[in-house]
Amino acid sequence: MLPKRIRVDALSVRHFDVGKGAPVLLLHGASLGSSADVWARNLAPLAAHGLRVIAPDLPGFGGTDNPDDVSLAYREQFVLTFMDALKIERAALVGHSQAGRIALDLAFSHPQRIAKAVVLATGSLLPPLAEKAQSEAEEGGVAEPKLADTRALLEGNLYNRELITPEALETRHRMSVGKNFHAFIARQAAKGKTAKGGEAPWQRVAKCPVPLLMLYGENDRGQAAQRAARAKELTPALDLRLLPRCGHLLQWDAAEQFAEIAGRFLK
């Protein structure tokens, strides 16, 4: 499955575009090495549900150019600009980790353009068990990673470490060095410069104006299983599901189950 190229906001954007039907955008997280390739196991199975499945490398990730603006707000606006470039008026969003926040934020700010939202392993959208809420760490070090560092990061995000094939490791490492490492450092340097306040992200979930599905791995970090149970206690109507034997990259650990659950919801 070969990626495509499109020009968006003066950036050359690498993306995958598979299938026909209602459009669904798959948005990867923000850890070092993240890219559209994290969805490689999911593109065809989701498309088999009669969906057009599109997975871009967000600005500063994968094979997409690095932007001048490294903020999360820019990445949110980019999603809409990317949709415009593809002449997509309305689409469903699937966001992994930090991109779950992007999906939810856009559902609130542009409900006329977001048909449905699926959140995968987004810690900040679960209630905390203590005073401090969980956020999505942009994992990575202060030095450009070696291959062993990339493997260690992947191992920390998976329940089934046998999924780290030589090909998967090579792809992840290639997406972790060079211009992508420089973009990661720029994002780290820009942290804390945006204003904060108002409701915590998890407090907005129950008010989502579009249909929302939330999926978490039972073995994810940050007490995800306990916090997911707490979310269901607070809001029983939430469509929130825990997948067994899954870490943070649940779309790898439970590729078939994810495609079936999400495919039915998005169809």
Examine the pLDDT at 1 and tell me if it is beyond 90: no
Examine the pLDDT at 229 and tell me if it is beyond 90: yes
- Over residues 37-41, mean pLDDT: 97
Examine the pLDDT at 42 and tell me if it is beyond 90: yes
Confirm if 262 and 47 have CB atoms less than 8 A apart. no
Please report the pLDDT score of residue 193 as a whole number: 60
**CA 108 to CA 127: how far, in whole Å?**
19
pLDDT (tens digit per residue) in 161-188:
999 999 999 999 999 999 999 999 999 9
Please report the pLDDT score of residue 207 as a whole number: 96
Interacting residues of 247 by C-beta distance below 8 A, sequence separation 6+: 156, 157, 158, 159, 217, 219, 220, 221, 253
Please report the pLDDT score of residue 198 as a whole number: 76
Q: Which stretches within the chain are classed as H helix?
A: 43-47, 72-85, 98-109, 147-155, 166-174, 179-190, 201-204, 224-234, 250-253, 255-266
**CA 99 to CA 55: how far, in whole Å?**
12
* Type and span of the H or E element at 27: strand 22-27
Q: Which stretches within 60-146 are classed as H helix?
A: 72-85, 98-109
Q: How many domains does the chain have?
A: 1
Which of residues 138 and 111 earns the better pLDDT score? 111
Domain of 209, in residue numbers: 4-266
What phi and psi values does residue 5 have, to the nearest 5 degrees?
A: -130, 145
Structure-token pair, residue 11: 């950036």
Examine the pLDDT at 135 and tell me if it is beyond 60: no
SS3 (DSSP) at 237 = coil
Among the residue ranges 41-50, 135-144, 224-233, 257-266, the one predicted with the least confidence is 135-144
**pLDDT > 70: percent of the chain:** 95
Record the pTM.
Answer: 0.95
Please report the pLDDT score of residue 140 as a whole number: 75
Counting DSSP H helices and E strands in the chain, the numbers are 10, 8
pLDDT (tens digit per residue) in 4-14:
999 999 999 99
Please report the pLDDT score of residue 94 as a whole number: 98
* Type and span of the H or E element at 13: strand 11-18
Q: What is the CATH number of the domain that holds 125?
A: 3.40.50.1820
* Type and span of the H or E element at 55: strand 51-56
pLDDT (tens digit per residue) in 80-105:
999 999 999 999 999 999 999 999 99
Structure-token pair, residue 164: 């780290």
Examine the pLDDT at 19 and tell me if it is beyond 70: yes
Examine the pLDDT at 123 and tell me if it is beyond 60: yes
pLDDT band at residue 218 under the 50/70/90 scheme: very high
Examine the pLDDT at 265 and tell me if it is beyond 80: yes
